Amino acid sequence: MRARFKLTDEEYTLRLSTDSAASSYGQPVLETEDGEPVDRFSWTLYEVVDATEDERAALRAAGYDC
């Protein structure tokens, strides 16, 4: 999925992962392609540019509004 960071207009490729150190108890965490986690508060500063319906459903299931 691609998302734009609203403060800088930069676009990032993001994915949900349980491999991140920010993930606990198997809860998926959104992260950049560099492995930087995007918490739910920070996610409010992003806008989805391109995502499948399955990706959007997975984000909602993980607690990220989109």
20: pLDDT strictly greater than 90: no
Question: Within a domain: residue 66?
Answer: no
Mean pLDDT of 12-26: 88
- Confidence bin at 56 (pLDDT 50/70/90): very high
The reported pLDDT for the residue numbered 26 is 82
Question: Within a domain: residue 42?
Answer: yes
The count of structural domains within the chain is 1
Q: Which of 66, 47, 42 is nearest to 56 (CA)?
A: 66
Structural domain boundaries enclosing 52: 2-61
Question: Within a domain: residue 43?
Answer: yes
Mean pLDDT of 5-13: 97
